[in-house]
Structure 1
């Protein structure tokens, strides 16, 4: 029987409070069986929980799967990692719905956000997803700028990022932040275990003393750029949202010299009878991404006036208050093209790794399988081995964010996003404003899929960020593959050079 005395000032549901105590006690006692019993109790919960209690429960589930992995290395499996990602992301997806303006709830929300963002970033880092891990370390630091674990772990993420970035100048910039984050974390202290300080110190000691003196200790000398106002506004918006195809845009400063899509494919070795076509394909992937990024900017920053192309068009008004405008169609287009870019990346990977998948069967989930299943099944010519390439592994884990009818997705909303994509491409979607009464339960229109404009804006920006992460990791994966598997030191290899496509040609 639950007593009420200890819950008077705690807004969380008593079921969640008691369950947290069970998780903590079981972990302290290193009792995996009791952790699993508590997980079963939580996953079978039928109570109606408020949003904050739901978010806290999902956080506890995610961290409990992580606790099991830390207590027993044999249980540190892919499935375990999937469950951590699923529940931590589910908790994060509830955050925007919480009443953060409520002075009673705000301290409890902040006390959840700090470990939630940090733990989620730690799991992303384990999956090789550097840029997204760094994003969530900084979200934790927005809650508490002096949280040493988030600072130090961000430093470690930057340290590893700098190693794999092919441009040495970029590497110097990233190492500068890695060094100072690690130093700051050590100075602040307050680590849960003494070995954490030792780990952070070891990373600092890995730097050569001359490199430390010349590149890491002095302040950064960042070139300053200027742009006309219209272009400046666009570049600042993209910098703020971390949308440039440039690892430097993952740094915690928004400098205009980082506002450039500089990342491309490395030099690649091909057989003499092969055409060097993949650089052209990556060109197209980048250009489509740049197009939808600017289209989203136009949409989000558009003036409130009616677009001239929307004037004098004959449409009917309905009682569910749908939105019809050039702005809304642009927003839909950004979502559709961003989603389609993921399958085009799969097309790239199929060709680069010579997987032998038929074109109609290629998508961002199918490339990781061993064969095409079903009535017309066939085995692939080659298979991907993400465990041998750090950034290929990151793409593998990103693929788990997408919906697949036969496989688990780490994104609780993956099926919803897939349904929206199919509806935008082939069916009927109505966008509505939350400023009007919501009548989307089918009483007016039972053919349409409904979505609020604010929700579409949020998920489209998230999808664009995911696409950016994929394009960066694709470039780095190819770079690593070329270094690891295509060494031809004893052979003379003729080279084919490409001219830079000049800005004035982009008419």
Structure 2
């Protein structure tokens, strides 16, 4: 729809609260659309600045979600990843506003047409922004969510463009590149079946009557037979697998946990579904290197994959273990019954071990990158972890990007930095990790409690019993009230103590104050002990812990894929020297 030109002037005094209802949001959205269409960055900055003049309040969570979605779209114009430094804190703003909005809709939990439409729009735009950050794997699930909600046309276009881009990146694997072209073609056909209405969908010009799109469609249809894509991988022989093996592979596929950027159903039948590998690497001949040293990076990548696969299998095994199943490994002592209904058999240990292994892979990936890109001296290896990888070591000016990465154009490497911010907070950057399941303990906090403190997985059946602390809270409130009363009584004694100084009454008043001080100290000790012991152990229900564990597994799996793509990017962009003699060797496999 063509909107009339609007002249906007905001002159308002600072006030406490202003109600943002649907009519106000409609006007705000018109303004954002207008400024976006005109690419008016300064105008958008001024528009966003007006919200510093008041505190917006909303009729309900749905209204606030629409407001946050509007702001996320506004920040998208100001913070285009390709136009910003990859480490800019401003790039957090879009992600945070979209995730806040989605969280509000999740809490509302009403599947009416308005909520479905809004969630689909937010998920599409969040996916688009993640894709601009190089996070094509993370983006895919949001586009798929949009399509599942209401067959969002723009999400189909985004999938089409993403598959095209990934195909162009895979010059080292022609069969996979062709399959990505096939997926792009399928997404394009899906979009072509939906309305061509530029007033509703801003992607129409990219699909309908677009020369480049028409050229791709014609090229694909002439170059390929769709039937050729019915099977990409060699399939396993069912006779060589047990029923449990087949169930495990199906579970991995259903949860998108194979180390393969192709999330296709055929992977459940593939002989080698974790097929992603590093590309061949070009380097100068060095006769000092032994055979295994020449292959050290490929071997390290295999090790990372093996650790992930082991953790993945531990999760599957644990999910198929009953909470009350007896385990022999810790049957050698009598266990305490502390009424937490915690799971203490092999299931809990497998889940916690999987969590620790997965989290440790962040640091292994960091170590790999540090050596491959030659970021720091060998003497600094002990200082390298996922959190320190991207920053300048020993910087005295707060968080500063690593000098060898600050000008990097490798957006797959940047994608790993953004995953870091999903897991850990970075000084000087607004927290993104707060909005990765904000109602649950953060992933890095869980890891710290498992590794260094005390952690328990609680049987979800007894969640209400464990969390029921109303009696204790009543006692805490009583003590706080008593402490306040004793403190007031102490304050009231001060004038009398000064007034009766040098008299017998003075000593009596001092003793009275000392007794009050002791009562206050006793209450402080009890409250301190309560706080210390209540924070000693992190307890999570089995359901909540598995939720965070599966998110961690997804982040690690995507990180491994981004690592491989980042190496491939470097190999593709190495300067070519036609005068050099190149000796090609295949990477050997067992």
Please give the TM-score of this superposition, normalised by the length of structure 2.
0.72
CA offsets 1:436-465 (integer angstroms, 9 cap, x no match): 224287687441123222111111111111
Structure-1 separation of matches of 2:322 and 2:539 = 24
Match of 1:365 in 2: 387
| Pairing 1:115–2:121 present | yes
| Pairing 1:315–2:325 present | no
Structure-2 separation of matches of 1:351 and 1:434 = 44
Match of 1:199 in 2: 206
CA offsets 1:222-243 (integer angstroms, 9 cap, x no match): 1655533211111111111111
Match of 1:422 in 2: 448
Secondary structure of 2:193's aligned partner: helix
Match of 1:504 in 2: none
CA offsets 1:204-228 (integer angstroms, 9 cap, x no match): 3343855432426556321655533
Structure-2 separation of matches of 1:75 and 1:496 = 37
Secondary structure of 1:246's aligned partner: coil
Match of 1:296 in 2: 315
Structure-1 separation of matches of 2:21 and 2:335 = 50
Deviation at 1:111, TM superposition (A): 2.3
Aligned counterpart for 1:136 among listed residues 130, 136, 142: 142
Structure-1 separation of matches of 2:460 and 2:60 = 22
Deviation at 1:375, TM superposition (A): 11
- CA shift in 2, pair 1:239/1:173, >3 Å: same
Match of 2:511 in 1: none
Match of 2:91 in 1: 81
Match of 1:401 in 2: 422
* 1:240–1:254 CA contact under 8 A, matched in 2: no
Aligned counterpart for 1:260 among listed residues 262, 267, 273: 273
Structure-2 separation of matches of 1:16 and 1:500 = 63
* 1:321–1:433 CA contact under 8 A, matched in 2: yes
* 1:162–1:170 CA contact under 8 A, matched in 2: yes
Deviation at 1:107, TM superposition (A): 3.2
| Pairing 1:152–2:172 present | no
Of structures 1 and 2, the larger Rg is shown by 2
Secondary structure of 1:364's aligned partner: coil
- CA shift in 2, pair 1:91/1:312, >3 Å: farther
Structure-1 separation of matches of 2:212 and 2:352 = 45
Aligned counterpart for 1:432 among listed residues 439, 455, 458: 458
Root mean square deviation, CA, Å: 3.5
Q: Which moved more, 1:460-469 or 1:219-228?
A: 219-228
Structure-2 separation of matches of 1:134 and 1:170 = 17
* 1:365–1:404 CA contact under 8 A, matched in 2: no
Match of 1:242 in 2: 256
- CA shift in 2, pair 1:87/1:374, >3 Å: same
Please give the TM-score of this superposition, normalised by the length of structure 1.
0.83
Structure-2 separation of matches of 1:459 and 1:345 = 20
CA offsets 1:30-78 (integer angstroms, 9 cap, x no match): 3525631464478x55x698655554444333223125558xx899994
Q: Residues 208-357 of structure 1: matches in 2 within 5 Å?
A: 209=218, 211-215=220-224, 217-218=226-227, 220-222=229-231, 225-227=236-238, 228=241, 229-249=243-263, 251=264, 256-257=269-270, 260-271=273-284, 272=286, 273=288, 275-276=293-294, 277-303=296-322, 306-309=325-328, 313-356=333-376
Structure-2 separation of matches of 1:74 and 1:266 = 29
CA offsets 1:363-384 (integer angstroms, 9 cap, x no match): 223222234325999997x612
Match of 1:124 in 2: 130
Match of 2:69 in 1: 59
Secondary structure of 1:451's aligned partner: strand
Structure-1 separation of matches of 2:335 and 2:129 = 49
Structure-1 separation of matches of 2:202 and 2:448 = 49
Aligned counterpart for 2:558 among listed residues 444, 469, 485: 469
Unaligned residue ranges in structure 2 (runs of 5+): 1-17, 36-42, 470-529
Structure-1 separation of matches of 2:468 and 2:564 = 42
Deviation at 1:96, TM superposition (A): 4.8
CA offsets 1:298-351 (integer angstroms, 9 cap, x no match): 122334551433656522222443332321222222222211101111100100
* 1:55–1:92 CA contact under 8 A, matched in 2: yes
Aligned counterpart for 1:32 among listed residues 35, 44, 47: 44
Match of 2:100 in 1: 90
- CA shift in 2, pair 1:51/1:300, >3 Å: farther
- CA shift in 2, pair 1:110/1:461, >3 Å: same
- CA shift in 2, pair 1:225/1:498, >3 Å: closer
* 1:244–1:260 CA contact under 8 A, matched in 2: yes
* 2:392–2:400 CA contact under 8 A, matched in 1: no
Unaligned residue ranges in structure 1 (runs of 5+): 1-12, 502-507
* 2:449–2:455 CA contact under 8 A, matched in 1: yes
Aligned length: 478
- CA shift in 2, pair 1:41/1:57, >3 Å: farther
Structure-1 separation of matches of 2:468 and 2:211 = 57
Q: Residues 94-109 of structure 1: matches in 2 within 5 Å?
A: 94=104, 96-100=106-110, 106-109=112-115
* 1:295–1:330 CA contact under 8 A, matched in 2: yes
* 2:131–2:139 CA contact under 8 A, matched in 1: yes
* 1:339–1:463 CA contact under 8 A, matched in 2: yes
Structure-2 separation of matches of 1:311 and 1:60 = 57
- CA shift in 2, pair 1:195/1:49, >3 Å: closer
Structure-1 separation of matches of 2:400 and 2:202 = 50
Structure-1 separation of matches of 2:547 and 2:112 = 22
* 2:280–2:587 CA contact under 8 A, matched in 1: no
